[in-house]
Amino acid sequence: MKKRDTFFVGWSSDIPSVDRRFVLGAGIALVAGAAGLGSALGRLQNAPGDGNWDQGAVRTWTGLLVAAPYPMLRTLDLGGVPRTAFLATSGKTAVRLPAQLVGQTVTLTASLIQRGDHAMLAVADGLDWIMADAQRPATPLELSPEEDLGPVGLTGEILDAKCWFGAMRPGFGKTHKACATLCVRGGLPLAFCADGCGTGEAPVFLDENGRAHSRAILPYVADQVFVVGRRVRVADMIQFRAPISAIRRL
């Protein structure tokens, strides 16, 4: 008896063998294609960088409390030499410093956010995260005079320093725009990263007078921009200073 070709039977739960082979092949091809496309797109993305924030590693830090241009701690606890660490809360808001402790040696409780030479301390929640320290370090911790490094034009992104230092991975690009906007709105320090943002340095981004930008900066956060300004060194900190009028969106 001659074998008949398979055909579809509406009331049958069985799928004809020819259709099974087609569905199986198409499924394998789709999975392989999706994996290949994902791998290709992944290679095109910038690396998120080596920033890190171990929120469980809370410890005490001692140093000189500085209020401007952002809350900072000048400390010897990051390698035994004077270093600058920005201060932030555990969330997306700036630290409120006790006015009577500004310019004084203090001990505070915080976890470290670090990316290369960039450091930030996320202070512990509560009211007792900071206290005066009567023992002043023998090594001077005051900020050194400004050193003007000259004019420069940079292409890159204006970001919140906390996320770029290591609180988020990645801490840049369109996927991070909403988060960066909230952090900047909350008063966290700005950083300017160039050349893809995944590697390299990100100087603190200030206005032309070396002060924190106002909220007028918000429309430019996490977008590709070209900025003409000046690089300035203050102790171990590189600053990129430019007015909002010098920012051009690309």
**Confidence band, pLDDT 50/70/90 cuts, at residue 8:** low
Q: Say how many C-beta atoms besides its own lie within 10 A of residue 202's C-beta.
A: 26
Share of the chain above pLDDT 70, in %: 84
Residue 59 sits in the same domain as residue 106: yes
Helix (H) or strand (E) holding 26: helix 17-44
Q: Identity (one letter) of the amino acid at 88?
A: A
Identify the domain boundary among 89, 107, 132.
Answer: 132
The greatest distance separating any two alpha carbons of the chain, rounded to the nearest whole angstrom, comes to 103
Per the structure, the complete domain to which residue 170 belongs is given by 147-249
**Gap between the Cα atoms of 106 and 46, Å rounded:** 39
Per-residue exposure over 221-236, b if at least 16 CB sit within 10 Å of its own CB, e if not? bbeebebebbbbebbe
Report pLDDT for 66: 97
- Average pLDDT for residues 92-106, to the nearest whole number? 95
Residue 65 sits in the same domain as residue 154: no
Predicted confidence (pLDDT) per residue in 16-73, tens digit: 676 777 777 778 878 877 766 655 444 545 554 567 999 999 999 999 999 999 999 9
Please, which residues bridge with residue 151 across strands?
Answer: 230
Residue 162 sits in the same domain as residue 220: yes
CB 199 within 8 A of CB 49: yes
Identify the domain boundary among 81, 108, 132.
Answer: 132
CB 116 within 8 A of CB 50: yes
